[in-house]
Structures are given as C-alpha cells and as structure tokens.
Structure 1
C-alpha cells in the first residue's frame, strides 16, 4: 500500500510540474527534461513514472478534471447558503471556475483531439463527466421541488454548451474587458433554462 501511495504522490508532483511548465512556456515547448528541471530532479526519475510526453498529457487531462470537480464539492459550497444548484451555476460562471485551469494549457491540450484519437476520447470523457455531475445536481434539485425539468441530462448539456462557449469567447478579450457583464448575461441564460428566477441567490 505504501509503495502505491508514494507512486501516486510522485506522479501527481510530476503532473503539477508539467502543468506549470506548460503554463509558462506553452504546451508545445514542454519536454520531460524541462519537467525534471522544474522539479530539480533527474530526467530518469520522470521517465520512471511516465514513459513519454503522451502519458503525461493523459495525466494532465485528469489533472484538469480534478480541478474542475472542485467547484462541485460540498467543501467548496459549505459556506454558501441556499440552493446547491444555484450555488454551482454561480460557480460555473465565475472567475474561480475560469482560473482553475490556464486557458492556454487547456486549449493547447484540446487542439490535440484533432490529431490523436486517444486524447479525443479522454477529453470527451472529461466533458461527459462534468455534464454528469451537473445533471445529478439538477436531478437532486428536481427531487427537492426546486426546479421542474423534464430531462436533467439534456439540461446539463445545454448549460455546459453556454459555459464552454462563454469562456472560449471571453478568452478573446482582455481579462476585465466586459467580462463581468457578459458572464452575468450568460449565467442568466442558464437560470432561464432551469426556470429559476433572478431573485434567487446563492
């Protein structure tokens, strides 16, 4: 058990270093040697846990998923009063969500889906999982009588189409250029889909 735990911990450290280098220098410029330098270790140590950059990329995609999952956790929402669904919608259209993963790293990884079927599948699984999490929250709200939604899965899909399109579009602007106003408008569209009034606050 100890060895497995140590392996997982070391892999997490390597992926974190990989992410930092990619964020700083661009994904296309990352090498295993640069990751090793970032960690101040020998390249052979990185190769012991990840045989190639491709293996590290899959680790990075899982790293991205884990970061995004944080905004769904009860720990993140524990100090927010009211509806869990409203809280999570607010999370999805927030600076916190946008800053969980660097846009340059995310979209550089995403671009690889057009050349690598395995990465395409990994990204699809990431997006499907995030939609599933939201669908479960919508289903929970439906069971609690908070919303009257016929198909929580389709509703979650529509909301994520807005989320993904919103951040893709906003990445074209300077960080503060109309960002808040636009995010509020996109968030309102999500609440409209859920038939939740604007007077409801998290």
Structure 2
C-alpha cells in the first residue's frame, strides 16, 4: 500500500478516536495523549500526523464538512417533484436528524475555538458557505416552480441557517425531546409561511 494511503488511513483513525473522545469527555477532556492510549501507540506518532491538537481539530471539522456533503445532497436526490423536494429540505433542517448529521455535540464543542484559532474559524466558514450555497440552490429551485416568493434567496438562506443553528443549540441545552419536536414543527410552518408570503 502506498505511503500516502497509509498516512491517510492513519489520520482518519486518529480523528475517529478524537471524535469519540469529544463525544464522551468533551473537548477539554479529549487530549492527544488519551487518543494515543486508545490507539495503543506512542503519543509521538500522533504528532507526526498532527503537530498540535488544534491541527487535529481543524482536520476533524473538515471531516464534518465531508460528512455533510456525503449525506445532505444525496438525501434530496430522487424526490418525485419540486414540492416534495422542498418539503424534504425543511423536514431535514428542522429535525433532530439534522443535529446528528452535522455531529452537533462535536460541532458545538469546537465552535468556541473560532475566537482564537484563525484556521479553525476558516474551516467553520467553509462548512457554512457550503451549507448556504446548497440552501440558496434549493430556494431558487422552489421559487422557479412557484412554491415560494422569495426576493433574495441568499438572505433567506442566511436567516434559515440562523434559525437552524439556534434551535439546534437550544435543543442540546433542553434535552426535552417532546418540547423540541413541537418547536421543530412550528419552525417548519413559520418558515414555509414566510417564504410563501415573500417576506424575505
């Protein structure tokens, strides 16, 4: 096996263990030493691939972006018509499954790092830019089919993303599934009403 392929596999293995540690112990408890212990290797091996923990976190965020790309776009393929497709978009965005798709626990654990690490902030910006671009595309498609009356799809996409992030953040605090589901349903109705009325 080529050395580059071996290195790529090793990096993914490191990131998998780092991801699991963040889920189990939080960002502060997920040290590279603990990752090495889980892998039963010397810590120096990890730093050969990632010189710092922040470098590993940056790569992990990039992995979240890849995960989003692999699942969000294919999820919409094969929808029978424009109406069903757009309904699927809203159902996906305002649902517990979306938080799972974007790896909410890891995502929000890494979020504070944008205030001190420029590279990690850039990775987050890249992820949201991809999300925004896909959402604008879906809004424009829905508008072309007469489903909504949005004047500015780019602005509408920013507002929807703000709502999605807000409710997901709140959901992780509440830990009350029955209340959260009611909120998701209410948000779906409100967003659709606003888009149909051409508020944005």
Structure-2 change in CA distance of 1:97 and 1:62 (3 Å) = same
Structure-2 change in CA distance of 1:77 and 1:38 (3 Å) = farther
TM-score by length of 1: 0.83
Q: CA RMSD in A?
A: 2.4
Q: Matched residues in 2 for 1:27 and 1:192: separation?
A: 39
Q: Matched residues in 1 for 2:176 and 2:13: separation?
A: 29
Q: 2:159 maps to which residue? A: 158
Q: 1:22 maps to which residue? A: 22
Cα deviation, 1:15-72, whole Å, max 9, x if unaligned, reads 1111101111111122212112223333233222111101101011112222333442
Contact 1:61/1:123 (<8 A) preserved: yes
Q: Matched residues in 2 for 1:10 and 1:191: separation?
A: 45
TM-score by length of 2: 0.84
How far residue 127 of structure 1 moved from its aligned partner, in angstroms, is 1.6
Structure-2 change in CA distance of 1:177 and 1:144 (3 Å) = closer
Higher mean displacement: 113-122 or 27-36: 113-122
Structure-2 change in CA distance of 1:124 and 1:71 (3 Å) = same
Q: How many residues align?
A: 195
The answer as to 2:109 corresponding to 1:108 is yes
**Structure 1 alignment gaps of length 5 or more:** 197-202
Q: 2:177 maps to which residue? A: 176
Q: 1:60 maps to which residue? A: 60
**Structure 2 alignment gaps of length 5 or more:** none
